[in-house]
Amino acid sequence: MKTYVLDTHALVWRLTNDRRLGAQDATRERVLTVIEADGRCVIRPIDLEIIRAMPMELDIHDALIVGAALTPVTPVDGVITCDQDIIRAGLVPVIW
């Protein structure tokens, strides 16, 4: 089975059938419900290993996503995102 780091923007857009990210509580609750109900989803806390792996050329949010993908604790096959900064950085395989 392949493993990916998921940029939460991609999940929210998929669940809301919308390309824009909304900060509505209903959207947040729906995302959390889907994550909790799907055994394939694992929420990994930000730890020192992720922080050490963060590429400095990205903003902090993108760097956390890439850092999580680069840590050896959970080897991943790529990142699911359409974030252009992550794609341009070329540090991890990207699926979109």
pLDDT in tens, 10-31: 777 777 776 555 555 566 777 7
Residue 42 has what pLDDT? 78
Q: Are 65 and 5 in contact (CB under 8 A)?
A: yes
Query: If you write DSSP's letter for every residue of 54-73 in order, what string do you get?
Result: --TTS-HHHHHHHHHHH-TT
Q: CA-CA distance, 89 to 12, in Å (whole number)?
A: 23
pLDDT in tens, 48-95: 999 999 999 999 999 999 999 999 777 788 898 889 999 999 999 998
